[in-house]
A = this chain, B = another copy of it.
Amino acid sequence: MFRSPQAKHREDVVGAEGTFILGDWGTSALRLWLVDADGFVLDRLQTTDGAGTLQGDAAGAVFSRVTQPWRAKHSPRIAILCGMVGRRGGWVEAPYLTPDRWSELPQHVAHLRLPDMDVRVVPGLRTRAADDVMRGEETQILGLTRHQPDFDGAICLPGTHTKWCQLAGGQIASFRTEMTGELFALLSRSSVLRDAVGPGFDDAAFDIATAEALNDPRAMGRLFGIRADWLLRDTDPAAGLSRLSGLLIGAEVARAIPDINGQNVALIGTGELTDKYARVLRFAGYDVQIQSGEEMAIAGLTSIANQMFELTDG
């Protein structure tokens, strides 16, 4: 960050020590990074204070509390946040932009002035047809394009609500949300299948279910079979859970394939869920790269910060 010719001017803006706070404040988690003027991460923290439930000043109180140690030691003067924190009724609303205005994110950050800090919140995106929205992922996708300016293809961000995005010529052409993660949680914890599923991963059960779902758009009609298998054959609950996951993710990937249309696929995320999407996509014959969600968020926020100050200084 701040590698442009106006470095001296910007130091005035960001405080004597030149530290920033970057953050991805999602529905269920708050992730913050303290970065120096060269873009190095000095410290990081993560809490379960989700922006999904914090109304207005409640978010401000959480932010003040968790950043207190950084403020006492480093006096950061600016925070740049993306994610659900910018929703209506959240801390400060950053209205949605349509994908064709994705490159204008830095011009449309919402501002909030605290006594010792300026808080900037990145807008989310909405489709022109008003049938989908994202908040936070737009910034991670921006981070990916900063890492790989030539990337063209499909981007998948696995999560409770997985986003699928088409990137063409450095622009977001379209995006779509799938609720597979939430369906999996509801079905495994609260449905009649809950008796038949349990912890563990059975890769054979997962792969068989994946293959079924990729080959047959009627896979959703086979969910009850997980219970029947357990009732009649006392199937291992780990196999049941893996089958549920394989049927759901396989069906989601089957729905995505007509859009991917033979292109590259980049996955942004970490952990088991992302690994499962990679496994299904590779099984379906796709070249897949995986990028860390944290790194992409930092890269995207840094890019927005740099553009913001170009704008401020220009």
Q: Name A142-180 residues within 8 Å CB distance of B.
A: 160-161, 176-179
Which of these, B187, B217, B225, contacts A217 with CB under 8 Å? B217
Alpha-carbon distance between A165 and B246 when the two chains are bound, in angstroms? 26
A232 interface residue (CB < 8 Å to B): yes
Separation of A223 and B231 alpha carbons in the complex (Å): 30
A192 at the interface (CB under 8 A from B): yes
Query: Which A residues between 215 and 234 are near B, CB-CB below 8 angstroms?
Result: 217-218, 220-225, 227-229, 231-233
Give the residues in chain B near A191, CB-CB below 8 Å. Answer: 179, 182-183, 186
Assess whether A104 is interfacial by the CB under 8 Å rule. no
Task: Given A133-B232, A192-B161, A228-B126, check contact A255 B218 (CB 8 Å).
Answer: yes
Interface size on A, residues (CB 8 A): 41
How many Å lie between the Cα of A305 and that of B88 in the bound state? 63
The residues in A between 190 and 244 inclusive whose CB is less than 8 angstroms from any CB of B are 190-193, 217-218, 220-225, 227-229, 231-233
Q: How far is the CB of A79 from chain B (nearest CB, A)?
A: 25
B187–A132 touching, CB < 8 Å = no
Shortest CB-to-CB span from A301 to chain B, Å, is: 23
The reply to whether the CB of A130 lies closer than 8 angstroms to some CB of chain B is yes
CB pair B220–A192 under 8 Å, yes or no, is: no
- In the complex, 12 of the A-B residue pairs with CB atoms within 8 angstroms, ordered by the A residue number, are A131-B225, A132-B224, A132-B228, A177-B224, A178-B221, A179-B191, A179-B223, A182-B191, A183-B183, A186-B191, A221-B252, A221-B255
Nearest first, the 4 closest Cβ-Cβ pairs linking A and B are A217-B217, A177-B224, A131-B225, A186-B186
